[in-house]
């Protein structure tokens, strides 16, 4: 039996697939302060919102101002499911984007900035495997952050406001069981949409040695896409922007469920993520790593 070209000249027993296990990288990232702070804030945010509602609970002298946001806040205090929906609503457009960009944009660039990337490759860890493991760990922490936010909001909201039907401004009242399924579907769609952010941040993490530049660049480009999407003069071009279907999850709350934009949003996000990740792998496997 001949040896593969990737292991010719390697030490006896060396197996590329055994280098940098997923569990080891997961534990390594768990020990980092940015991971702990990001996940901790996902737990803290629903509690902050809950406390804010508590301070506002006794204020019945408002002039009816606040508009649509005030109406959403009133719905948020009508049950745990509604509180969870409100928490996702206020987090989806920016906070979750920042968190996903942080996990995916910091993962490779930080190693380069610390000067440890070349030592990881000298173990040796094959470049494609190094990138794949780091990407999977970053996606795992991104999913964990989303689950922590929703789980904490659901638990805290249910304990405070009870297990009540899900209500929104775009649908009839849904019983708690169906409402929970709708919320899970919302989480699933948000996770898919955020793949585009993950792909962009990961690509920038590969092409730059500055972690802040990768994270900030991904967030700024996402914001730019959101701004362009508001310009109606762009016409059909807006449909190709990665943020165009970011709010299509609202269709999951309507009766009946509106799926057209959901399908388009999933296809768009997966296509963008696949493109960004493909370029990242192509670039990294050919990059001269000196840091």
- DSSP string covering 40-104: HHHHHHHHHHHHHHHHHHT-----S-SHHHHHHHHHHTT-HHHHHHHHHHHHHTTHHHHHHHHHH
Mean pLDDT is lowest, of 16-25, 43-52, 250-259, for: 16-25
pLDDT at 50 over 80: yes
Of the pLDDT bands very low, low, confident and very high (cuts 50, 70, 90), residue 57 is: low
Of the pLDDT bands very low, low, confident and very high (cuts 50, 70, 90), residue 248 is: very high
Contact between 145 and 99 under an 8 Å Cβ cutoff? The reply is: yes
Q: Taking the model in full, what pTM does it have?
A: 0.88
Two tokens, residue 42: 């996902």
- Predicted local distance difference test score (pLDDT) of residue 264: 96
Of 200, 180, 152, 196, nearest to 252 by C-alpha is 180
First to last CA, the chain: 37
Report the pLDDT averaged over residues 78-105. Answer: 93
Mean pLDDT taken over the chain: 85
- Predicted local distance difference test score (pLDDT) of residue 53: 86
Q: What does the alpha-carbon distance between residue 64 and residue 71 come to, in Å, rounded to a whole number? A: 10
Q: Which residue has better confidence, 79 or 209?
A: 79
**Which residue, chain included where needed, has tokens 């940098």?**
20
- Predicted local distance difference test score (pLDDT) of residue 123: 63
- Predicted local distance difference test score (pLDDT) of residue 258: 87
Reported as a single tens digit per residue, the pLDDT across 63-74 is: 544 545 556 677
The sign of the CA dihedral 258, 264, 268, 274 is positive
pLDDT at 6 over 90: no
Contact between 190 and 101 under an 8 Å Cβ cutoff? The reply is: no
Report the pLDDT averaged over residues 210-217. Answer: 91
Q: Specify burial of residue 107 (Cβ count, 10 A radius: 0-12, 13-18, 19+).
A: buried
CA–CA distance from 23 to each of 39, 89, 157, 170 (Å)? 18, 32, 33, 43
Q: Specify burial of residue 160 (Cβ count, 10 A radius: 0-12, 13-18, 19+).
A: middle
Report the pLDDT averaged over residues 196-204. Answer: 96
- Predicted local distance difference test score (pLDDT) of residue 286: 78
Backbone angles phi, psi at 196, to 5 degrees: -65, -40
- Give alpha helix (H) positions in 162-256: 176-207, 211-229
The angle subtended at Cα 163 by Cα 162 and Cα 167, nearest 5°, is 105
pLDDT at 7 over 50: no
Two tokens, residue 285: 């496997």
Domain coordinates in residue numbering, the chain: 20-53+69-285
Q: What does the alpha-carbon distance between residue 260 and residue 213 come to, in Å, rounded to a whole number? A: 35
Of the pLDDT bands very low, low, confident and very high (cuts 50, 70, 90), residue 113 is: low
Report the pLDDT averaged over residues 118-129. Answer: 71
Contact between 225 and 242 under an 8 Å Cβ cutoff? The reply is: yes
């Amino acid at each position: 039996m001949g040896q593969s070209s990737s292991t010719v000249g390697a030490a006896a027993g060396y197996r590329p697939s055994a280098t940098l296990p997923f569990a080891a990288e997961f534990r390594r990232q768990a020990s980092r302060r940015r991971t702990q702070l990001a996940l901790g804030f996902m737990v803290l945010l629903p509690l902050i919102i809950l406390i804010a509602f508590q301070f506002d609970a006794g204020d019945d002298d408002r002039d009816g101002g606040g508009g649509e946001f005030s109406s959403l806040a009133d719905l948020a205090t009508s049950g745990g499911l509604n509180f969870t929906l409100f928490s996702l609503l206020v987090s989806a457009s920016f906070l979750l984007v920042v968190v996903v960009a942080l996990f995916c944009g910091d993962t490779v660039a930080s190693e380069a900035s610390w000067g440890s990337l070349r030592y990881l490759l000298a173990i040796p860890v094959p470049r494609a495997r190094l990138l794949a493991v780091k990407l999977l760990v970053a996606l795992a922490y991104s999913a964990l952050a989303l689950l922590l936010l929703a789980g904490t909001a659901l638990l805290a909201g249910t304990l405070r406001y009870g297990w009540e039907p899900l209500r929104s401004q775009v649908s009839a009242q849904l019983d708690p069981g169906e409402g929970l399924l709708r919320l899970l579907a919302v989480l699933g769609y948000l996770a898919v949409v955020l793949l585009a952010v993950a792909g962009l941040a990961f690509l920038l993490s590969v092409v730059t040695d500055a972690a802040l530049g990768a994270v900030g660049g991904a967030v700024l480009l996402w914001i730019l896409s959101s701004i362009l999407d508001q310009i109606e003069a762009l016409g059909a071009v807006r449909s190709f922007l990665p943020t165009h279907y970011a709010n299509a999850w609202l269709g999951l709350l309507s009766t009946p469920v509106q799926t057209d934009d959901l399908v388009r949003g999933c296809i768009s996000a997966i296509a963008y993520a696949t493109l960004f990740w493909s370029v990242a792998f192509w670039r990294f496997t050919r990059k001269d790593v000196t840091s």
